[in-house]
Structures are given as C-alpha cells and as structure tokens.
Amino acid sequence: MIHSAIHAAARALLADPLTNKGTAFTAAERDRFGLHGLLPPHVGTLEGQIARRRRALEALPDDFHRYAFLRELQDTNEVLFHALVQSDLPRMLPLVYTPTVGEGCRRFSEIWRRPRGLFLSWPNRDRIADILADPALDRVKVIVVSDGERILGLGDQGAGGMGIPIGKLALYTACAGIHPSEVLPILLDVGTDNPALRDDPLYVGWRHPRVRGEDYDAFVETFVAAVAARWPNVLLQWEDFAGANAWRLLHRYRDRLLSFNDDIQGTAATAVGALLAAVGRTGRGLAEQRVVIVGAGAAGMGIAALLVDAMVADGMDRAAARRAIAAFDRDGLVVRGRNVLGEAQQALARDPAEVEGWDTRDLADVVARMRPTILIGTSGQPGAFGEAAVRAMAAACDRPIVFPLSNPVSHAEAHPADLLAWTEGRAIVGTGSPFGVAGVAQVNNVYVFPGIGLGALASGARRVSDGMFLAAARALAAAAPATGADLLPPLNRLRDTALAVAQAVAAAAHADGSAPADPDAIDPAPSPAMWVPAYEEA
C-alpha cells in the first residue's frame, strides 16, 4: 500500500501543470517522490527546457500549430509555459493571443485535450454554485468570462470562445504577475447560433440554439451571484459578449462586484492612450481634433465615451466634445431619427438638418465634409477605410491619425501599408493586430487590462470607475517613447507598463472613492507580489 501511495503521488505531481517540473525535478525530489523511471535520467534546468521547447515550437509549420503547441504546454507545465512566453514576449504574444487566438477559437474543439477553467452550461444551471465550490479554486483572484457570441471579428464560436478567457489570463500572468493558480477562465455555454458548430461531430459545447431573453438574464444572474458569494473580492472581466449584452451586463453588474468589460472599457483605454500619444506628435491639442469612428458597437462607443472624458478633462465643454466625434455604422453616419440604436449612439448622433445634402452612407463623402483629423475603425469590416475616404482625409490634414483596430488581421478596416501609401507617408497608424509594417503601432488591449486589473486589486477598489480607465490611458501615453515613430512602449517592457498603469489606476481609485482612502498606492518598485515563473522545491 505504501508503494502504491508513492506511485500515485508521483503521477499526481507530473499530471498537475502547477506542480509538474518535468526533467527539472532534482535527484533528491526524484528520490523523495518516487519519480525515478517516470522521467528520463537527465536532470535539467528551466533554461534548458525553454531552449528545447523553443526549438520544437519554431519547427512547426504555422502559427496555428504553434498556438496548439503552447496550449498543450500550458496544460502540462505552467511554469515552463509562462517562462517560455516571458522569455520573448514580442514573439510569443501573437501566438498566445491576437491574431492566432482567433483560429484557436474557431478550431477549439479540434485541439481540446485537457480541462482548463470552467464550462458553465445551461443544462447545469442549477449546479453553478456547487461547481464553483471546488477547493482547488480557493485562491482565485481574477476571472475572465465569455459566452462566446462575438469572438473578435469571427462571430459566434460557442464553446470555442473559451480560447479568449484562457488567452487573456495567460497575459494577466505574463504582464501583471498574477499567479497561475489565482486566475480562472470561464465560458458561459448557453448554446450557439452557429449551425456549423452544432452540426460538427467534434464540437465540445452544448448543441442547442442560444438561450436568450429572460432565461439568459436569469442564467447570468445565477452566475454572478454565485461568483460574488464564492469570491467577494474577485475581479471579473467580461469578454466578447455581443454588443447589446455587453452594455447591459456592464451597467447591471459594475457596482455589484469589481468588474469591467474589456471590449468596451479596455479597448477604450488602450485606444485613447495611443491617441493621446499620437496627438502629441501632431502639434495640435486634443481640443482641436475631429473624430470619425467607423463601427458604432460596444468597442467604438466605448472609445467615444472615454475620448469625450479626456477632452472634458482637457477643458472642453462636454457637448462640444461630443460634437467633435461622429459615429458611422453599417447604415452610414449615425443621425438622430434614422439609425440610433441606443444611448451610446444617441450621444453622438448628428442632427438631420446638419447633414442635409450629404451622402451619409458614403464614408468618403462624410470624411470630405467633416474633415476629421482622427479616423478609428471598430467595425470588423475589411476594407471599410477605402482609398477615397483616406485620401479625402489626408487632403485636409497634415498628419492624419488612422487606427483600423478590428481583429483579426483579415477583418481590419485597411492594411497599414495602403494607409501610408494613400497619405504619402504622413499618416500616424495604429492597428489592432500585428501587420509587421515598420512604424505602425499595435494598439492591443494587453497594454492596459493587466495593469487595470492589478491596480484595482492592489488598491482594494470596490468598483472600476471611468476615472480609472482615463488614468490608465494617460499612463499608457506617458509610457510611450519620447522619440521615434512608436506610439506605445515596446512589447518587451509590458511588465513595466502594467506596473505604471496599475499605479495610475490605484491612485485614481483612491482619489475618486472607488477604493478606501489610502495615501499610498502601489510601491513604485517592482512589486514582490508579481509572480515570476521559477520552479519551487516540490
């Protein structure tokens, strides 16, 4: 029986990605836990394992296979996975998250191997509290949750949407130093309206059309109530919910537990931070800018709202700030009485008399008449920034700022090389996904959401306020290189950026009452609480 228990403990060590060290188990640990024979005799180091895995990774034929390789490594050995990712963040980020995560979500069922996170499905709606009660989850501090309905620009991916919470939380660890045992990805599986998934024999999700209406709301309420009871101080990040649900759930729950929507608020903070840096390169103040946002959904309206706050903080009247921004959706320029869908669009809707005689469905005509200095894309529509519109913008603006932010690359509103060509190289360009074009910033949420989460948790905040997002945007702009074409800090400084954002967010939380009064924010030195991947003695 003793030998049986030893062998069981040995296999448990190797099977748990949080305790498995592979060949890095020392000779003494192999003696103590009966690991001899289960491992090759070589006693390795973490550095040697990184080199071995890096060689295997680069030998694979394409980025999707590299993504699948890294996902399997994460499910096998978390320390090695995070050490490999952090050894070369600029190389690894596109593989762990955008743009490759889109294909990872689309083919999630094909590569699913081992449990990670929780699938809370409609058939198990009465078991949610019991599922969350697992003692293995006692240390959870950060949850990222999605229902898989609006994954990047790919639409409804059902259970495959779990790739988004998994990827986001890998970045919480890489950038904000949150321990892997303290993060929890969750997929709310309420079915899918993607018939191809429901008909796919490999699909791992609940094969049913999406639950909607009151039943959907009741399901989410059960989930939130169970989370709040299980972890009263947890940070909950909403990801890739469809636009209408994204806004509703944010407003319904942002004061009930510490939570934010990354598509709305994280995207806004990142975009506004990059815009502040870009505006600083033009020689014109924020109050002198005119903005057209193509895509009037959650992301675009989130950017607009935070941009208005930034303009007001710079001294503009709020009504004037809103007048400086226009929204353009699939039905054209957002105009009162025509295509206003909600409160967010209403704030930016133009008066019909103002646009009389305009071809409001033609972006080029709208640009020629409005003469914007900033053009932002969150539409998910490839090619939405046509040559005529961009040339019309460049004709009236010396340094046009053009941000096609939609992900993945195939859904970007324009290719940055075209934007530079159409503006004779004068455009300041930022994109949502990496294009590999020199001087083009990747306006990726990874620059802010880890720091926002870290700052909110470290400050003891009770809610994530709008002021905390504006503070994050300003901190990001301040971290931008003082010279050169780059609008954002280099990716290999993401931990420093996360800490700077966290400090600003914590200070804002204390200042506006979102966190208890405290004269001290996060220590400016690197926080000892930021986890660094290293093997501990077993």
Q: What is the pLDDT of residues 282-329, one digit of tens each?
A: 989 999 999 999 999 889 999 999 999 999 999 999 999 999 999 999
Tell me the C-alpha distance between 477 and 480, whole Å: 5
Residues in the chain: 538
CB 332, CB 339: distance < 8 Å: yes
Closest to 486 in 3D by CA, of 233, 304, 238, 281: 281
250-264, 427-441, 522-536: the lowest-pLDDT one: 522-536
Residue 346 — left, alpha, or beta (φ > 0 → left; ψ -120 to 50 → alpha)? alpha
pLDDT score recorded for residue 481: 86
DSSP state of 296: -
Same fold, 94-257 and 265-444: yes
- State the Cα–Cα distance between residues 496 and 493, nearest whole angstrom: 5
**Mean pLDDT value across the chain:** 94
pLDDT-based confidence at residue 3 (cuts at 50, 70, 90): low
Catalytic residue among 67, 97, 253, 447: 97
What pLDDT score does 70 carry?
Answer: 98
Rounded to two decimals, what is the model's pTM? 0.93
Name 377's bridge partners: 294, 404
Residues 234, 240, 244, 250: what is their CA dihedral angle, to the nearest 10 degrees? 20
DSSP 401-428: EEEE--SSGGG-SS-HHHHHHHTTT--E
Rounded to an integer, what distance in angstroms lies between the CA atom of residue 45 and that of residue 26? 9
Which helix (H) or strand (E) segment holds residue 25: the answer is: none
Please tell me the predicted confidence (pLDDT) of residue 6: 72
Q: In this predicted model, what pLDDT tens digit does every residue of 348-383 receive, in sequence order?
A: 999 999 999 999 999 999 999 999 999 999 999 999
Catalytic residue among 21, 67, 141, 168: 168
CATH class of 265-444: alpha beta
Known catalytic residue at 168? yes
Tell me: pLDDT of 520 over 70: no
d(CA 157, CA 102): 10
Is 97 in the active site? yes
Per-residue pLDDT at 436 exceeds 60: yes
Domain boundaries, the chain: 2-85, 94-257, 265-444
SS3 of residue 90 by DSSP: helix
Over residues 126-159, the pLDDT tens digits come to: 999 999 999 999 999 999 999 999 998 899 999 9
The sign of the torsion formed by the CA atoms of 171, 176, 181, 185 equals: negative
Cis amide leading into 232 (omega within 30): no
Confidence grade of residue 526 (pLDDT, cut at 50, 70, 90): very low
For the segment 153-174, what is each residue's pLDDT rounded down to a tens digit? 899 999 999 999 999 999 999 9
- Structural fold of domain 94-257: Rossmann fold (3.40.50)
- Burial of residue 103, with CB atoms counted within 10 A of its CB: 0-12 exposed, 13-18 middle, 19 or more buried: middle
Fold classified for 2-85 = Hemocyanin, N-terminal domain (1.20.1370)
What is the model's pLDDT at position 60? 98
With bands split at pLDDT 50, 70 and 90, how would you rate the model's confidence at 388?
very high
pLDDT at position 525, please? 45
- Residue 171 to residue 444: CA distance in whole angstroms: 12
Which of 226, 147, 220, 218 shows the shortest CA–CA distance to 185? 147
**3-state class of 441 per DSSP?**
strand
Structural contact between residues 206 and 109, judged by C-beta atoms closer than 8 angstroms:
no
Token reading at 211 = 């639950």
Cβ atoms of residues 334 and 340 within 8 Å: yes
Residue 2 has pLDDT above 60, yes or no: no
Q: Are 414 and 389 in contact (CB under 8 A)?
A: no
Q: What is the pLDDT of residue 136?
A: 95
Q: Is the pLDDT of residue 482 over 80?
A: no
> Across the strands, what pairs with 327?
293
**Surface-to-core class of residue 375, CB atoms within 10 Å of its CB (0-12 exposed, 13-18 middle, 19+ buried):** buried
